[in-house]
Structure 1
Amino acid sequence: MKKKKPSVRHTASRTDQQNLILDRLFDYFSHPKGQKPTSENEIEVSFYKCSLNALPKNFHDNTYNGVNIIMLLQYQKENSIKVPIYATFKQVTDLLEQYKGQLPKKSDHFDPNKPLKGLKLDAQIVKYLETYKKDGGKISKSQFESATEGLSLKQIQERGYQKRNGLKPYNVFPIEKIKHLLPQVFIDEREYFAEQEALEQQRMTPEMQDLLFVEKAQLIIEAIGVPVIESYQDRAYYLPNKHQIIIPPRSKFQSDKAYFAVILHELSHSTSRDLGRDINHAFGSVGYMKEELIAETATLFMCLEEGLDTFNAHAQYLESWASHFEDKKKVLLSVCKQARDAQKYISDKVIEHKQKLANQPKYVVPNNIDSKFALTEKYTEELALFIAKEANTFGCVIPLKGQKIIGFNRISEGIEVFSEEKSVKLQGAAAMTFKRKLSELEMKQSLFNEEITHPCASKKPDNQQLNQSFRHRL
C-alpha cells in the first residue's frame, strides 16, 4: 500500500518556513553593520564590537558552518550574548541528569527535576536535508542514484521516485544562560568561558586595541604571502593574473586599523585562486556581487576566528549589491558556504605560519648590515616622530613604529631596515625618504659634534666627507 503524499498545506508550510529563514539571511546582508564613508574621496572602515569575537560553537565544541554562523551572529547582537556556545534542550537535559547530584537543592525558584523549566529556546539554526523516496517510502541516496541514473525528471517521477531537499530549522539556546547549573568539567573543557572571563578583566585603551588588531592582521598577511602593493589610486583590489593586492597609500585611510582591514578583505578575494572560485566578472554583474559578498563574509568569519574586531569594509555598495538578490535568496546559502571555505583556508595558513615561527630561531640583528648607525637620544626621538608621520603616508612603514632602528641593507626592491626586534622591507618612495632622513640625522649629529657617532667611523669626518657620504647614501 502506497503511503500518502504530503498534503499541499504541509508542503506550503515547509516552503513558508524556508522562506522565513532565507528572509533573515537576506536581511543580514542587506543591512550591513557599519557606517558608510562620509565622502567619496575617503576610504573608511567602521568597526563594531561584540563581547567575544569568536565563531559560534555547538554543544560538542565544534564550530557551526555557513548560514548558521550568520543566523547566530544576528541572535547574539540582538540578545547581547557573551559566550557563543549553543545547545539543544535535550543535550543539556541529558548533561544535567548525569550531574544531577551537583544541582542546587529544590526551592521556590528551582526544581532539580525540571532544571530547565521556563527556559526559552529562541535561537535558531538550520540543517540542509535531502530525502529520497520510492512510492512514498524512504530509500538511501545510493539506491536512488543507482535506480535513476540516466533517467529524465519525468521518467523518475513516472517510476515513483522522488527527491526532496530543503532547510529544516532547529531551536537552540546559549548555554551561558545556565552556566551556574553546568558541571565545572564541562566549562573547563570549553575555552570560550575562560576567554570571556579574561576579556572582562582586561583593561585596554583604544590605542592598545588598535595596535593589537594591526599586529594580528600583519601576521595573517604574512601567513597568506600575497604581495601587497601600494599605489596612488582611490580603490583597493586583488589582481588574479599577478596574484597581488593593490592598495591605496596609507594616507587615504583614517587609521592603521582601517588600512589593514581593507587588505584583509582583499586577502579573502585572493583565496579564489586556490579554491577554484571564478572572479573574472564584469563590475556590477551578479557574479561580481556574489564574490563581494563571499569576500566580505569570509573576512567577517576570519576576524571572528582570529579574535579580531569585526567590520564591514564596503558597507555602502555591499548593501546595494545584496538588494539584487531579493528574488534569488538561495544564492546566499552558497555565499555562506564559500565564505566559510575561504575562512578555513586562511585560518589553516595562519596555523601553519604560527607553527613555522615557533620553530624558527629567535630574531637576532645580523652582523652583515650595509649601513649601521647609532643616534643620540635627541635624534632617536626625531627619527621616531618621522617614522610615525611616514606611517600615516606609507603602510609598509607601520611595522617600524615604536622600533629602535639599527641600520639597513640595500635590496633590489628598496631597503631592508633592521631594528632590535624585527626586519622590515621598504620599497619605492618610502625607501627613498627613509634613507634620506637617516642620512640627514647622521649629518646633523656629526656636525654638532654629538657624543654618539657612526659606529664604523674611526674619526670625525670633515664637511667634504659628510657631503660625499650623504650623496652616497642617496
Structure 2
Amino acid sequence: MSDSQNKNASLTNKSSSTKSLEKAQKNPISSKTKVKKSKTKKQVVDIYQMVTDKIIHALDNGVKPWACPWDRTQEFGQLPLNFKTKNHYSGINILLLWSETVEHGYSSPYWLTFNQAKEMGGNVIKGNKSTQLVFYKPWERENPEGETEIIPMLKPFNVFNLDQIEGIEKPVIKPSLELVNEFGFIDNVDAENIINGTGITIHHSGNKAFYRPSTDEITMPPKALFHHSDNYYSTILHEISHATGHQKRLDRSMAGRFGSSDYAFEELIAELGSAFSCAELGIFGNGETQHACYIASWLKKLNEDKKFIFKAAASAAKAHRWIFKVEDQNDKEVKKVA
C-alpha cells in the first residue's frame, strides 16, 4: 500500500470514529443502562417472591402470620411501630413483622432502621440480621391520552427489632393488671364505639356469625354465648371487614360461592382486616376458626400468584382504615391530569 493510500485509510477511519461519537452523543442510552433497568425489574419480582415465600412457609407450618403475637395482657399497642417516629407500620409490613416476631421470639413491638438506631445513640448487636420490609414509591408516566399517571413502585428497606439493638434504653413493658384480672364478657368501650361508628346494621340472634351482602346486615350470636369478650369482638370485626366491601363503601367484588377461590380471597381480606383492627384495639381474640378449604385455597393462590398476598393486604388495610375512619392518603393521588 502506498503512502497516499495509507493516508486516505487513516482519514476514513477518523471520519468513521467521529460519526460514531456523534451518534453516541445523540443517543446516550448505553447497554449498561439497559442492564441496570433489567436488574431493577428483577429486584421487584424478588421482593414479591420473598414475601410470598414467608407467608407460604408460615401457613405450611400451621401458623397464620396475621395472628398478632403479643400477649393480650400487655399494656402497649399491638400494631408494630417505629420506635423513633412512633408511627405504626401498615399492610403487608404488619404481617412480615408479626411473622418475624413469632419466628425469633422478639419481646418488643418496636423497630428501627440501622441509621435510626445510630441517630438515637444505639447500634445493632453483632451477628443480628435485619428484617426486610417494603414501601411504595410514586413513579410518574404519561399514558396514551396525555395524562400523567402515578404508578406505585415497590421498594425494599430493612429494620431491626429493638431486642437486636444495644445502647438504647428500652421501654419497660408491664402487664396490665386490669386485663389480667378480666374473665368472661366485659364490654370494650373503645371497640363498641368503633363498631357503632360504622353505622352497619347488626342483629344478635342464633348461633352463627355472618354478613349478608344482599341486605347489608350482620348477624351475630348473643354476647352471652362467647366464652370471652375478645372472641366476640374479633368475630364481629371480621364480619364488619366483609361489610366494608359493600358497593356503597369500598365496592369490592363479593362474588364467589363458599369454597371457591374468590370466596377464599374475600375471607382472607376479612381475616387480615379483623387482625389489624384487633391489634389497634388491643384485642387478642381467637375469632372464628377458618375452614380448611380456605387454607388450601390460599396456599394454591400464593403458589400461583406472588402478588396475591399484597392484593389481600392492601384491601384489608383499606377496610381497616374505613372502620377507623382514617382517610386513605394513598387514594388521593392515584392519578392526576397533567
TM-score after normalising by structure 2: 0.69
- Alignment check: 8 A CA contact 2:112 2:161 kept: yes
Cα distance change of structure 1 residues 310 and 26 upon mapping to structure 2, 3 Å threshold:
farther
1:37-56 to structure 2, matched below 5 A, reads 49-50=70-71, 52-56=76-80
Return the index of the structure with the highest Cα Rg.
1
Q: Give the alignment partner of residue 242 of structure 1, picking from 196, 203, 215.
A: 215
The DSSP-based 3-state class of the residue aligned with 1:338 is helix
Structure 1 CA distance for aligned equivalents of residues 325 and 210 of structure 2:
23
Whether the 8 Å contact between 2:185 and 2:224 is mirrored in structure 1 is no
Give the superposition deviation at 1:174. 1.6
Contact 1:300-1:310 at 8 Å conserved across structures? no
**Distance in 2 between residues matched to 1:348 and 1:178, nearest whole Å:** 35
**3-state SS of paired residue (2:262):** helix
- 1:3 aligned to 2:30? yes
User: 78, 94, 98: which is aligned to 1:69?
Assistant: 94
Which TM-score applies when normalising by structure 1? Answer: 0.51
Q: CA 1:285 to 1:211, structure 2 compared with 1: closer, same or farther past 3 Å?
A: same
Correspondence for 2:48: 18
For residues 222-371 of structure 1, the aligned pairs below 5 Å read 222-232=196-206, 235-248=208-221, 253-273=226-246, 274-311=249-286, 313-317=288-292, 318-325=294-301, 326-348=303-325
Q: What CA distance in whole angstroms lies between the structure 2 residues aligned with 1:127 and 1:261?
A: 28
Partner of 2:118: 93
**Displacement, 1:74?**
0.6
CA deviation after TM superposition for structure 1 residue 301, in Å: 0.3
Once the two structures are TM-superposed, the CA of residue 330 in structure 1 deviates from its matched residue by 0.7
Counterpart-to-counterpart distance in 1, 2:151 and 2:324: 34
Gaps of 5+ in 2: 1-27, 327-338
> Alpha carbons of 1:320 and 1:49: their partners in 2 closer, same or farther (altered >3 Å)?
same
Does the Cα contact within 8 Å between 1:31 and 1:319 map onto a contact in 2? no
Residue 457 of structure 1 is matched in structure 2 by none
8 Å CA contact retained: 2:233, 2:283: no
Tell me if the contact between 1:305 and 1:347 (Cα under 8 Å) persists in the aligned partners: no
CA–CA distance in 1 between the matches of 2:120 and 2:153?
A: 31
- Report the alpha carbon displacement of residue 83 of structure 1 after superposing the two structures with TM: 2.8
Would the alpha carbon gap of residues 82 and 261 (structure 1) be closer, same or farther in structure 2, given more than 3 Å must change? same
Task: Report deviation, 1:173.
Answer: 0.4
Amino acid at match of 2:311: S
AA aligned opposite 2:105:
S
* Alpha-carbon distance in structure 2 between the residues aligned to 1:291 and 1:285: 10
Counterpart residue identity of residue 267, structure 1: I
Contact 1:238 1:244 in 2 (8 A): yes
Matched residue of 2:29: which SS?
Answer: coil
Q: Percent identity?
A: 24
State the 1:19 CA deviation: 1.3
- Tell me how far apart the structure 1 counterparts of residues 258 and 276 of structure 2 sit (CA, whole Å): 25
Secondary structure (helix, strand or coil) at the match of 1:314 reads coil
Tell me if 1:79 matches 2:104. yes
Query: How much is the aligned-residue C-alpha RMSD, in angstroms?
Result: 3.6
Q: Secondary structure at the match of 1:118?
A: coil
Query: Which shows bigger deviation, 242-251 or 207-216?
Result: 207-216
Kindly state the Cα deviation for residue 247 of structure 1 after the two structures are TM-superposed: 2.6
Cα contact 2:201–2:217 (8 A) shared by 1: yes
Distance in 1 (alpha carbons) for counterparts of 2:238 and 2:277: 10
* From 139, 147, 162, the counterpart of 1:175: 162
Count, aligned residues: 283
Q: Distance in 2 between matches of 1:268 and 1:164?
A: 27
Question: How far is 1:300 from its partner?
Answer: 0.3
Q: What is the SS of the residue equivalent to 2:160? A: strand
**Whole-angstrom CA distance in 1 between matches of 2:231 and 2:175:** 27
What displacement does 1:64 show? 1.5
For structure 1, list consecutive stretches of 5 or more residues without a partner in the other structure. Answer: 35-45, 97-102, 104-114, 132-140, 152-162, 188-192, 350-474
